[in-house]
Amino acid sequence: MKGVGLGISALLLAAVLLVALSPDRERTEREAGQRAGTVAGAVDAAALAERQGALLDEIVFLRETDLGRVTGLIEAGSHQLFSQGISSPTVVNRLRDSVQADMDLAFGTSSELTLNPAGPILADGSLNPFALPEIREALNWLVDRRHVAEELYGGLAVPRTLPLSTAFPDYARLAEESRALELRYAHDPDRAREAIDAGMGELGAERRAGRWFFDEEPVRLRLLIRTEDERRRVGDYLANLLQGLGFEVERRYRTAEEASRLWIATDPAAGEWHLYTGAWISIVIQRDQADNFSFYYTPRGRAEPLWQAYRPAPEFDELADRLSRRDYASWEERQAMMARALELALVDSSRVWLVDQLNASARAANVEVAADLAGGVSGSALWPYTLRYTDRLGGRLVVGLPGLLGEPWNPVAGSNWAFDRMITRATQDPVVLPDPYTGLYHPQRIARAELAVEAGIPVEQTLDWLTLTREAQIAVPGDAWVDWDALHGRFIPVDEAHPEGLTARTRVRVHYDPELFARRWHDGSWLTPADFVLSWILDFERASEASPLFDPAHLATFEAFRRHFRGWRILSTEPLVIEVYSDQIFPDAESIVAARAPSPLPWHVLMLGILGERRGELAFSSNKADRQRVDWLSLVAGPSLPVLERLLAGVQEQLQEQLSLPYGDALGDWLAPGEPERRFAALDAWQRAFGHFWVGSGPYRLHSVHPVEGSVVLRRFGGFRDPADRWLGLSRAPIPELLLDGPLVVAAGRAPGANGLAAGEREGREGAEFRLAVTVEGAPYPEEELREVSYLLFDGDGALAGRGEAEPLGQGQWRVRLDAETLAGLGSGANSLELAVISRRVALPAFASHVFATLPPGEEVPR
């Protein structure tokens, strides 16, 4: 009898199958930038090798909100890709059955119950039971997460108990602790009722005829229930459970916008809501989730009133803060802190996690793209470099998405809508790109990097594009810029701000591509060091009350940055070499470099926004625009455009009169002779040709914007000279496919005095053997590409009875042998052998499960 590896719709099921994963301590030689060795479909390999830049000629984005039309539109040929995550089992099944359509799955979306912690007595005098942590904690026993995943989400979700995604590495690293907590908080309605009864009594409520009363009034709970997706069913399910416990429940069905006005915008103490059916999405694989506790459970998470109402226990609050700052001296200390924080998070339960969802991105069968395993197509950093037809080069492709141009576009504080960001990502060319399957960063405009960390700090390197060294102490040079004088428009060096000296935990030295300044912005102007410098100045200006650009909404982000920033300096411009000092660390060296390496922004476009804000006509952020009652800066549409046109004309007149621009003295050393005149002349020609001011340097340029019609058109940028097939090696996720084979029944021990034993009983005495086949697209998975093939053995009570490593047999085959003593320790009954396969090429573990029974000695064993 065979136990088949978990299907893709249950890949992460319960995640109790995971094995603790220590940081990768071996380097891999794989570079994701290698060209694809084979070309799918009918594309001519020679033509592909010769092509530069984007693989398509034109991409058209159209608004489409009806998911029921997705499969039909693809089959009709009017659309080739839909970027939104699809969680409807009906639509997914249609896609699965269609010959013309295909899909990519993503695992970065989670659903939870957001609880109102205010009170216990709210502004209207009513009682809020969820002000008591014990009642919040009890909801973990009340909800049946497996029912939610399998029935309410139609199998396109898996149970989740902890504030760690079951899809990301930290969950695997803490597998044993996770398993114990999941067992502790498993579905137990009787325990939930007991805890809620005790808590309500503590709050002074009393039950009469099966209903809860407080101050002679029924205890009413207001549930905010989202209506657009499966959360409507989740909300109704929970409402029924709470009514069964004696609460009066008001079901407030709301759309996203309607709900946000209540759970985010209002003071929780006002009592407009008690519980919200929340959801979160990560657009990239999070290799380090240490700051989840601070974000989700403390006032440091966000500035909104709900977060400011959180009151975590002192131990939990301190631990969450230390983890967010990575204040630990060893990996072992970090793991112990994480384990304790998980325990305290469930005691707090300001959020009750329900499921991790699986979302599908639909595409035509002859279309290929590197979809991120967390964020899908819309979250993928590599989609602009990999989206193509497999049977031809170039061509026009139509993308459907549920919304676009939702907010104004500007590169400082513009639209944060996922689908706006997806479009703008194609116009940009960041210096590093995250691997869609591992979350590790790869260089795009970096030749190499050098990372130095203080001795003893737990940081590990995986890829070979950077070097990692350890130093006893890292001193920050006196000439590094550590601050900005907004009043006098000058850099403040370390030796002025810290004459006593300054040290840092890390130093990153980034050596950029030697050809970086031979690249052009879309308007034809050349990149220069000023594109790196002005954006840094702007960051400090917006945080300074002495600056006309001051924006209080920017302070929280900036202050978090200042807590770890220790300075930076430009060491060379030919080639560009930048050195950055910081106290912030991450477990992966690649993540530290990615977080520190500055990326360029077109300084001349930023300058127009700066002038508009200085003159009180425009604002980078919505917050400042609302306060100043001016237009939120949009570079692509709306009333900002005529203001920008006028500002551009004014700048050109200033330059003709040889008048200085803002920050001219600070930028002077980083500008080429005559650069300002050439830059603004190029921008003027660009705006006249295309009607907007959005200038990037990526593989696609913004050709046209149509807000009324709900469409955006991108076209291939001819100046983008990278080989078109550079990133095609990452077009498909190499997730291991598992097939586990083993006996269904095994004797648990010896039969005393037995001379002859049945075959199954002999197997029990000599142990039992299980075989695992690991493949990818039907071929054996290379052994060197697997980091770990491990097993967990659980007895009939769900307790861990053994663990170990599988033995490689070659050609994708692995073996697990359980000896007679281990089998005897299981006793009689059903047991589960769970195998976890950890690949070096993908962050998602793959699992296989095999259930078998152990029988007492002497009983009949099937043959």
Is pLDDT of 519 > 90?
A: yes
As a whole number of angstroms, the distance between CA 670 and CA 47 comes to 40
pLDDT band at 22 (very low <50, low <70, confident <90, very high): very low
As a whole number of angstroms, the distance between CA 739 and CA 522 comes to 50
pLDDT band at 2 (very low <50, low <70, confident <90, very high): very low
Q: Is residue 89 part of a domain?
A: yes
**Is there a single domain that holds both residue 686 and residue 813?**
no
Residue 40: the pLDDT is 42
Is pLDDT of 463 > 80?
A: yes
Is pLDDT of 43 > 90?
A: no
As a whole number of angstroms, the distance between CA 511 and CA 580 comes to 12
Q: For residue 792, give the H/E element and its range.
A: strand 786-794
Residue 525: the pLDDT is 96
What is the average pLDDT across 584-595? 94
What is the average pLDDT across 551-563? 82
Q: Would you give the distance in Å from CA 448 to the centre of its chain? A: 25
As a whole number of angstroms, the distance between CA 209 and CA 201 comes to 15
Q: Is residue 424 part of a domain?
A: yes
Q: Give the 3-state secondary structure of residue 850.
A: strand
Q: Give the 3-state secondary structure of residue 121.
A: strand
Residue 435: the pLDDT is 93
As a whole number of angstroms, the distance between CA 360 and CA 89 comes to 10
What is the average pLDDT across 256-260? 78
Question: What percent of the chain has pLDDT above 90?
Answer: 65
Q: For residue 364, give the H/E element and its range.
A: strand 351-364
**Is there a single domain that holds both residue 534 and residue 579?**
yes
The backbone torsions φ and ψ at residue 647, rounded to the nearest 5 degrees and listed phi first, read: -65, -40
Q: Is residue 147 part of a domain?
A: yes
Is pLDDT of 557 > 90?
A: no
CATH number of the domain at 232, please. Answer: 3.10.105.10
CATH number of the domain at 826, please. Answer: 2.60.40.1930
Is pLDDT of 792 > 60?
A: yes
As a whole number of angstroms, the distance between CA 314 and CA 168 comes to 28
Angle between helices 675-690 and 603-614 (to 10 degrees): 80
pLDDT band at 131 (very low <50, low <70, confident <90, very high): very high
Are 117 and 310 contacting, i.e. CB atoms less than 8 angstroms apart?
yes
**Is there a single domain that holds both residue 656 and residue 520?**
yes
Give the closest residue to 383 by CA, choosing from 601, 56, 52, 845. Answer: 56
For the ranges 267-271, 366-370, 393-397, 416-420, the lowest mean pLDDT is seen at: 416-420
Residue 734: the pLDDT is 85
How many structural domains compose the chain? 4
**Is there a single domain that holds both residue 138 and residue 209?**
yes
Residue 21: the pLDDT is 27
Beta strand 807-810 with 813-818 is antiparallel
Half-sphere exposure of 175 (CA within 13 A, CB side): 23
Is pLDDT of 829 > 80?
A: yes
Evaluate the CA torsion angle 750, 751, 756, 760 in order and state its sign.
negative
Instruction: Please tell me which residue, 662 or 258, carries the higher pLDDT value.
Output: 662
Give the closest residue to 381 by CA, choosing from 391, 370, 389, 367. Answer: 370
Residue 508, token pair as written in the block = 């990153």
As a whole number of angstroms, the distance between CA 260 and CA 531 comes to 37
As a whole number of angstroms, the distance between CA 542 and CA 554 comes to 7
Specify the DSSP class assigned to residue 150: I
Is pLDDT of 731 > 90?
A: no
Is pLDDT of 467 > 60?
A: yes
Half-sphere exposure of 609 (CA within 13 A, CB side): 29
pLDDT band at 841 (very low <50, low <70, confident <90, very high): confident
Residue 348: the pLDDT is 97
Residue 825 exposed, middle or buried by CB count within 10 Å (0-12, 13-18, 19+)? middle
Mean of the per-residue pLDDT values for the chain? Answer: 88
Is pLDDT of 762 > 60?
A: no
Q: Would you give the distance in Å from CA 786 to the centre of its chain? A: 24
Q: Is residue 470 part of a domain?
A: yes
Are 28 and 435 contacting, i.e. CB atoms less than 8 angstroms apart?
no
Residue 303: the pLDDT is 66
Residue 765: the pLDDT is 57
For the ranges 512-516, 528-532, 637-641, 659-663, the lowest mean pLDDT is seen at: 659-663
Give the domain-ending residue among 689, 706, 728.
Answer: 728
As a whole number of angstroms, the distance between CA 362 and CA 79 comes to 10
What is the average pLDDT across 491-505? 96
**Is there a single domain that holds both residue 545 and residue 680?**
yes
Instruction: Please tell me which residue, 299 or 355, carries the higher pLDDT value.
Output: 355
pLDDT band at 38 (very low <50, low <70, confident <90, very high): very low
Q: Is residue 6 part of a domain?
A: yes
Are 423 and 61 contacting, i.e. CB atoms less than 8 angstroms apart?
yes
Residue 261: the pLDDT is 78
Specify the DSSP class assigned to residue 102: E
Angle between helices 640-656 and 675-690 (to 10 degrees): 150
Q: What is the pLDDT of residues 133-185, one digit of tens each?
A: 999 999 999 999 999 999 999 888 999 999 999 888 888 788 889 989 999 99
Contacts of 49 (CB under 8 A, 6+ apart): 35, 723, 725
Is pLDDT of 379 > 90?
A: no
For the ranges 360-369, 437-446, 520-529, 825-834, the lowest mean pLDDT is seen at: 825-834
What is the average pLDDT across 16-32? 31
Are 71 and 362 contacting, i.e. CB atoms less than 8 angstroms apart?
yes
pLDDT band at 713 (very low <50, low <70, confident <90, very high): very high
Residue 34: the pLDDT is 33
Q: Is residue 764 part of a domain?
A: yes
Beta strand 846-855 with 745-747 is parallel
Instruction: Please tell me which residue, 87 or 672, carries the higher pLDDT value.
Output: 672
**Is there a single domain that holds both residue 248 and residue 137?**
yes
Give the closest residue to 595 by CA, choosing from 741, 430, 460. Answer: 430
Are 498 and 482 contacting, i.e. CB atoms less than 8 angstroms apart?
yes
Q: Is residue 439 part of a domain?
A: yes
**Is there a single domain that holds both residue 383 and residue 418?**
yes
Residue 85: the pLDDT is 81
Are 262 and 164 contacting, i.e. CB atoms less than 8 angstroms apart?
no
Is pLDDT of 39 > 50?
A: no
For the ranges 223-237, 439-453, 834-848, the lowest mean pLDDT is seen at: 834-848
Query: Can you give the C-alpha Rg of the chain in angstroms?
Result: 29
**Is there a single domain that holds both residue 454 and residue 539?**
yes
Is pLDDT of 760 > 70?
A: no
pLDDT band at 4 (very low <50, low <70, confident <90, very high): very low
Cα angle, residue 162 at apex, residues 147 and 171 outer, rounded to 5° = 110
**Is there a single domain that holds both residue 501 and residue 647?**
yes
What is the average pLDDT across 6-27? 32
Q: What is the DSSP string of 705-746?
A: EETTTTEEEEEE-TT--SBTTTTGGGSS----EEEEE--SEE
Are 381 and 436 contacting, i.e. CB atoms less than 8 angstroms apart?
yes
Helices (H), 481-529: 494-497
Q: What is the pLDDT of residues 679-709, one digit of tens each?
A: 999 999 999 999 999 999 999 999 999 998 8
Angle between helices 189-202 and 133-142 (to 10 degrees): 160
Residue 861: the pLDDT is 45
Q: State the residue range of the domain holding 15.
A: 2-22+734-855
Q: Is residue 298 part of a domain?
A: no
Is pLDDT of 750 > 50?
A: no
Give the closest residue to 843 by CA, choosing from 382, 462, 481. Answer: 462
The residue whose two tokens read 């009017």 is: 78
Residues written for the chain: 863
Is pLDDT of 359 > 90?
A: no
Residue 858: the pLDDT is 56
Give the closest residue to 745 by CA, choosing from 764, 722, 765, 724. Answer: 764
3-state helix, strand, coil in the chain (%, to 5): 30, 25, 40
Instruction: Give Dmax over CA atoms of the chain in angstroms.
Output: 108
Residue 857: the pLDDT is 65
Is pLDDT of 6 > 60?
A: no
Are 165 and 215 contacting, i.e. CB atoms less than 8 angstroms apart?
no
Residue 859: the pLDDT is 53
For the ranges 224-238, 595-609, 831-845, the lowest mean pLDDT is seen at: 831-845
As a whole number of angstroms, the distance between CA 734 and CA 828 comes to 39
Is pLDDT of 7 > 60?
A: no
**Is there a single domain that holds both residue 595 and residue 643?**
yes
Residue 482 exposed, middle or buried by CB count within 10 Å (0-12, 13-18, 19+)? buried
612 strand-pairing partners: none
Residue 751: the pLDDT is 37
Beta strand 211-214 with 206-208 is antiparallel
**Is there a single domain that holds both residue 723 and residue 760?**
no
**Is there a single domain that holds both residue 627 and residue 687?**
yes
